[in-house]
C-alpha cells in the first residue's frame, strides 16, 4: 500500500480521521485512519493490536506508513473498507427487526470470542464501532481503546461502560459483554441504552441498575440480554456461552440476503421508538389523569397495535371506524 491516493473523510475521532483511499497500483479501495505523528500514540497502539488479528469478524489490517501532508508527518493505518458503514448508521436509516439484530449480534459475539481467546478486551463495543461490508458481513473496528486483559487502563464510551469499569475498578472480558447488551438495546430501539446522559456514569457505577430491556422484543431476546447485563461481572455469560443461547439459534446460519429484506423504514409512524416517545408525551404533558380505557380503540392505539403485533406481522384487517385519509385513485403523480 505504498502508493495510494486519499479520498473523502468518512469518520472522525478525537485525534484521528478515517478516509477512503485508493491504491494507485491495483485500484483497490480501502480505509485509512490518520493522525499527525506527534499525536499518533493511540493510533500506533491500535496498529500494534490490529496487526496481530486475523478473523472474519474483525476489520482486516492492510498495513501502515508515514506520509508527509501539508509539511506535517502523518501516521496512517490502512484497513479493509466496509461500504455499508456502521450499525449505528444503519439504524438511523431503518428500524432493524429481530432477525437482523440476532444476525448482527451473532457476528459481534464471534468477533468478541476471538478477541477474548487472544487475551484482548475491546473496551468500546457499540453500534458505531461495528461495520457492515458489501455482503453484510459484521466487522468489529476501532481498537483505539483495546488492551490486554491484564492491563489496568480503563477507557471507552461512558453510556456503554459496565458498572465495574465506570467505578474505575477493572475492565476485562465481562465489560465487553455488558457493552454488547447495550448495543443490542441500541439496535432494538434506535436509541441510547440509557435514557438520560446527565449523571449517567455515576448511575451506571453505583445504582446497581442495568439498562431497561425493551418490552416489545421476544422472550428469548430478553433472556439473552439478562445474561449480558448482570451487574456482577462474574455472573455475566461469556461470549462462548452466549453463542449457544437460543436467541441466536435461528440466526447463526441466516442467509445474508434475507437480512436485507427484514427491515422497515424509520420514517414510518409504526416505529417502536416513536410510540415510547408518544406515551412519554401523554404522561408528561397532560396534567390530568390518563384513562387508558378511553384510549383502547383510539387511532393511536390501533396504529400501535399494527406496529407491535406479537406475530411480527401487521394485521391490516378493515375496521368500520378506520378513516380514509387519502384515496389512491384520486392521487395525482
Same domain membership, residue 173 and residue 34: no
Q: pLDDT-derived band of residue 19, with 50, 70 and 90 as boundaries?
A: very high
- Last residue of one domain, picked from the residues 229, 264, 299: 264
**pLDDT at 304 exceeding the cut of 80:** no
pLDDT of residue 13: 76
Same domain membership, residue 306 and residue 240: no
- From 89, 97, 124, 249, the catalytic residue: 124
Same domain membership, residue 166 and residue 120: yes
CATH number of domain containing 72: 3.30.200.20
pLDDT of residue 244: 95
- Last residue of one domain, picked from the residues 57, 79, 101: 79
Q: pLDDT-derived band of residue 291, with 50, 70 and 90 as boundaries?
A: very low
State pLDDT tens for residues 272-284: 443 343 333 333 3
- 235 vs 105: CA distance, rounded Å: 20
pLDDT of residue 15: 80
Q: pLDDT-derived band of residue 120, with 50, 70 and 90 as boundaries?
A: very high
pLDDT of residue 51: 97
Annotated catalytic residue 150: no
End-to-end CA distance of the chain: 51
Structurally, the chain folds into a number of domains equal to 3
CATH number of domain containing 246: 1.10.510.10
Average pLDDT of the residues of the chain: 81
**pLDDT at 92 exceeding the cut of 90:** yes
Same domain membership, residue 168 and residue 107: yes
Same domain membership, residue 115 and residue 197: yes
Same domain membership, residue 179 and residue 122: yes
Same domain membership, residue 143 and residue 245: yes
Same domain membership, residue 277 and residue 259: no
Same domain membership, residue 128 and residue 72: no
- Last residue of one domain, picked from the residues 264, 285, 307: 264
- 172 vs 165: CA distance, rounded Å: 9
**pLDDT at 204 exceeding the cut of 90:** yes
Same domain membership, residue 101 and residue 54: no
Same domain membership, residue 132 and residue 227: yes
Q: Enter the pTM of the model.
A: 0.76
Provide the residue range defining the domain that includes 239. 88-264
Same domain membership, residue 204 and residue 60: no
Question: Among 129-143, 184-198, 222-236, 302-316, whose mean pLDDT is lowest?
Answer: 302-316
Amino acid at each position: 500500500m505504498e502508493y495510494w491516493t486519499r479520498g473523502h473523510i468518512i469518520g472522525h475521532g478525537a485525534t484521528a480521521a478515517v478516509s477512503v483511499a485508493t491504491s494507485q497500483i491495483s485500484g483497490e479501495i480501502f480505509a485509512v485512519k490518520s493522525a499527525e505523528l506527534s499525536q499518533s500514540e493511540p493510533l500506533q497502539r491500535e496498529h500494534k493490536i490490529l496487526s496481530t488479528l486475523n478473523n472474519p469478524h474483525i476489520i482486516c489490517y492492510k498495513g501502515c506508513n508515514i506520509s508527509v501532508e501539508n509539511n506535517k508527518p502523518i501516521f496512517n493505518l490502512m484497513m479493509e473498507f466496509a461500504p455499508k458503514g456502521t450499525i449505528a448508521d444503519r439504524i438511523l436509516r431503518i428500524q432493524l427487526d429481530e432477525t437482523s439484530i440476532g444476525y448482527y449480534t451473532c457476528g459481534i459475539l464471534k468477533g468478541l470470542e476471538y478477541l477474548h481467546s487472544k487475551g484482548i478486551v475491546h473496551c468500546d463495543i457499540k453500534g458505531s464501532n461495528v461495520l457492515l461490508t458489501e455482503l453484510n458481513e459484521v466487522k468489529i473496528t476501532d481498537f483505539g481503546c483495546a488492551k490486554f486483559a491484564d492491563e489496568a487502563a480503563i477507557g471507552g464510551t461512558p453510556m456503554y461502560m459496565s458498572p465495574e469499569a465506570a467505578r474505575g475498578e477493572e475492565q476485562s472480558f465481562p465489560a465487553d459483554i455488558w457493552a454488547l447488551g447495550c448495543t443490542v438495546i441500541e439496535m432494538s430501539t434506535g436509541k441510547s441504552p440509557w435514557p438520560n446522559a446527565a449523571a449517567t456514569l455515576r448511575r451506571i457505577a453505583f445504582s446497581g441498575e442495568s439498562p431497561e430491556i425493551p418490552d416489545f422484543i421476544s422472550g428469548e431476546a430478553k433472556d439473552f440480554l439478562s445474561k449480558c447485563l448482570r451487574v456482577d461481572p462474574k455472573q455475566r455469560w461469556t461470549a462462548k456461552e452466549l453463542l449457544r443461547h437460543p436467541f441466536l439459534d435461528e440466526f447463526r446460519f441466516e442467509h445474508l440476503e434475507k437480512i436485507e429484506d427484514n427491515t422497515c423504514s424509520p420514517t414510518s409512524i409504526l416505529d417502536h421508538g416513536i410510540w415510547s416517545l408518544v406515551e412519554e408525551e401523554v404522561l408528561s404533558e397532560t396534567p390530568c389523569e390518563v384513562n387508558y380505557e378511553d384510549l383502547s380503540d383510539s387511532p393511536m392505539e390501533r396504529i400501535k397495535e399494527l406496529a407491535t403485533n406479537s406475530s411480527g406481522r401487521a394485521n391490516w384487517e378493515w375496521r368500520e371506524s378506520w378513516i380514509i385519509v387519502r384515496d389512491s385513485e384520486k392521487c395525482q403523480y
